[in-house]
Every structure is written in structure tokens, then in C-alpha cells.
Chains A and B, each alone.
Chain A
Amino acid sequence: MTYTYSIPNDLENQPRTDVVLRSDGAWIPTDPANSDYQAYLATLAANSAPQANSTES
């Protein structure tokens, strides 16, 4: 299963630093102990950069 990731914006339309949004709708906290965040970092390390910003809501 391959996911893509994006960085959502906050209510001030600024990129959030506390969360990554996965393509299945999962809100992944930027917590080094979170296994989904670890997978995201592994994806980044494999040179898959996040997509362009998206609005939060």
C-alpha cells in the first residue's frame, strides 16, 4: 500500500509543523515515536517529498 503525504495549513493559512496528512486521511503527529511518522520519515528519506500545501478545512 503506497501513501502520499501533504502538509496541511493552519487557520492562518500557514503550514502546520505538528502534523502530516496522509492520503487516507490520517492525521499523523510529528512525534518521533509514532510509527506512522517513522514511516513518513522513511518515505522522505527515499526522496519522496511532501506534496504542495493544502488548506486545513
Chain B
Amino acid sequence: MSRAQLTSTDQQNSGGAVPPVVGGKNFIANGGMDIFQRSTSVTIPNTTPGYYAPDRFLFYSNGGSTTLSRVAGTAGITYATQVATTTGNTQINIENRLEYQQAQLLMGKTVTFSFYVNAATTSGVSIAVGDYYPSALDNWASVTFAQKGTVSAAQLSAGNWVRQSVTFTADTNTTGLGFYLTITGLGANTLQITGWQVEIGNVATPFSRAGGTLQGELALCQRYYEKSYDLATAPGTAVNSTFVTPSATTTSYIYGFVPYKVTKRTTPTVLIWDNGGNANATTRGLLGSGNSNNQNGAVDDQSMTGFTWLSAGSSNANIAFIHFTASAEL
């Protein structure tokens, strides 16, 4: 007998009596903010939405100066993101976008969007909760927001974590689906957030990683963004790379290949650095004679699985290094 036959209509719609912690229940990759490949502390530009700190989360700030930093989480979730705003801030958006192919499973269904939030000061703070979608297939240059609920100041507790949830019918379209919080009334304040979960059904079940494990979560993130640096090292940091290509001794080009750890959503945008942290450069070396940073470099062929690159310089070299990031974000 199938599970569908064993469960009521409500349970079928809500996903049934699934275990509370299981990979795939939560549609939000990195909902527990385990992975911060780009930075664990960064001041973000005003009115420029982007992926700055926790993987898969897009942040937008309007007014004042806003800093994102990784802080301790709650309820067994190790990390959270702290949004520190300054006087003049009128809006913070926190968003997480799903590819259409993944989002289809949610469209038209009853879903529950839950998260943990801790605001230092709650007076005047309001959080709009909803989903949103792009105007073209997986092309988020233009989006439509659909507010589904509100978390008011009265539902928050100054300096304490609270879990909030909103249940609604996810929008249906042929382009994609994301989930967002719009936070207003912060001014100069700090707000911490973690434990994002979007699941089918009308109940906020205990938080569960989308990828099931830390490695699963990292792999989910790496479908969209990958770097050559250690996880705790921000891109562009001056540190020796292990992405090295040996060559016959030459004053001409050295040609290298980088295979991605995880196949990307689409052909990604690539940035490269040398061992000294110089952008768009390579490090060339002659074994036994040391290395030279800031040598010319270029990305050549690109695909979803890797890229080739060139190092050019005038001095003899038989080895070349690069660091890289590859972004296939939505």
C-alpha cells in the first residue's frame, strides 16, 4: 500500500507525517546558515542587492550603512546572520531564490515558511513575509513580490530568539520562485536571523537542513558558488593556492584547467586571483627560484564543470598558480 493511500488528504497536501529532521524537507538551501563562502563579516553597498555573506541568501539594504556578520545561532543551529543597521535605514530584504525546476514542487501548494529572529530592539520593527518570482525563466533581473503575512513588533522579543512562521499558498508560474523577508523600522538596530525553512504543509516542523548534512548543504551551495580558498578564507586573500599547473620551462603561456567540485547550475562567472590577492592575475614560478605574483592571467574556455586558464609572463617559469571563484547564482 502506498503512502498516499495511508494518509489523509490533508496529510498528502502537507507532505504527510514525515520525520522532523530529514534531507529534502526544507526547500531553502543553507537555511541554517552553515556555509559562508564569501565572507563572515562585510559592509554591504546601499541599494545593491547581492550575495554577500551566507551562501544562497541575497541581501538588500536601503539607507544608512549595513554590516552583515556571522554570529551564534539558536535551537541547535550553529550560526546566524546578524544585520547591523544604522540611522537612516528604511529597509532590509533577505531573499532566497529557487530554480524553477526545484520550485515547481511548491507551486500552488500550501507551504509554511518559518525562521528564527532576534531583534535587539523591537519597537517599530515589522517583517513582511512572502514569496516572489522572476519575470522570465530563472532570470531574476525583474521580479514580482507577493506578501503573504506580517510579523509585527509584538511578535518579537527584544534581545531574544523567537521562531515565527507563515502558512500560505505558494504562487504558481513558469519562471521560478523565491522567498523573502522585508524588514522595516530598524533604523539603528541589530537583527539576527537563521533557521529558514520552507516546507510543504501547514505546520512549521523542526528545522532540518535541505542537504541533510553539512556536506550535503555545502554541495547544494556549490551548485551556485564555489571557490578555491579554504571555507574560512575570503576570496582575494593573499594565500598560496593549490590550484597549480606544471609546465615545461617557458617564457610564454602556461595553460591550466580547474575542475569544479560540483557541477554548476549553468556556466558560471569566474574571477581569478594570484597568490598575493591581486585580481585577474596569476602567480608564476620557477621551481627552486621562487614565485612572482601579479602576472597576467585570463580565463579561457568555460563550462558547467570547469574552466581553462592562461598565465602569461616574460620570465622563465615552469609552474603557475591561480585562485578562483565561480558563481552561477540566480
Chain B residues within 8 Å of A8, by CB: 298
- Give CA–CA (A36, B327) in the complex, Å: 9
Chain B residues, CB < 8 A from A28: 269
Does A47 count as interface, using CB distance less than 8 angstroms? no
Question: Which of chain B's residues 48-105 have a Cβ closer than 8 Å to chain A?
Answer: 48, 50
Q: Does B299 contact A (CB under 8 A)?
A: yes
Would you call A57 and B302 a contact (CB within 8 A)? no
Which residues on B sit within 8 Å (CB–CB) of A18? 301-302
Whole-angstrom CA separation of A11 from B297 in the bound complex: 12
Evaluate whether A34 and B267 lie within 8 angstroms (CB atoms) in the complex, with A8-B298, A19-B302, A57-B298 already known. Answer: yes
Query: With A18-B301, A19-B299 in contact, do A26 and B269 touch (Cβ < 8 Å)?
Result: yes
B221 within 8 A of partner (CB):
no
User: Interface on chain B toward A: helix, strand, loop, or mixed SS?
Assistant: strand
A42 and chain B: residue at smallest CB distance: B141
Asked if A1 meets B45 with Cβ closer than 8 Å, knowing A33-B138, A57-B310, the reply is: yes
Known: A25-B279, A25-B280, A42-B141. A34 touches B269 (CB 8 A): yes
B: contact size bracket: 20 to 34
Flag if A26 contacts B270 (CB, 8 Å): yes
* CA–CA, A1 and B279, complex, Å: 18
Residues facing B in A23-37 (CB within 8 A) are 24-29, 31, 33-37
Q: In the complex, what residues of A have CB within 8 A of residue B328's CB?
A: 34-35
A33 and B165 alpha carbons, distance in the complex (Å) = 33
| A27 and B138 within 8 A (CB) | no
Contact of A27 among B139, B253, B269, B329 (CB under 8 A): B269
Q: Is B330 an interface residue (CB 8 A)?
A: yes
Please judge, given known A-B contacts A31-B266, A34-B328, whether A24 and B271 are in contact too, CB under 8 Å: yes
Q: Which residues of A contact B269 (CB under 8 A)?
A: 22, 26-29, 34, 36-37
With A1-B45, A24-B271 already in contact, the answer to whether A33 and B298 are too (CB < 8 A) is no
Nearest A residue (CB) for B136: A38
B200 within 8 A of A: no
A42 to B142, CA, bound (A): 10
Contact of A52 with B by CB under 8 A: no
Query: How far, in angstroms, from A8 to B253 measured CA to CA in the complex?
Result: 17
Judge whether B28 is part of the interface by a CB distance below 8 angstroms: no
Report if B189 contacts A (CB, 8 A).
no
Distance of A53 Cα from B298 Cα, bound (Å): 15
A sample of 7 cross-chain residue pairs with beta-carbon separation below 8 angstroms, ordered by A number, consists of A1-B45, A24-B279, A27-B302, A29-B268, A33-B265, A35-B329, A39-B141
Interface residues of A (CB under 8 A from B): 1, 8, 11, 18-19, 22, 24-29, 31, 33-39, 42, 56-57
> What are the 3 tightest A-B residue pairs by CB atom distance, in nearest-first order?
A25-B280, A27-B299, A33-B266
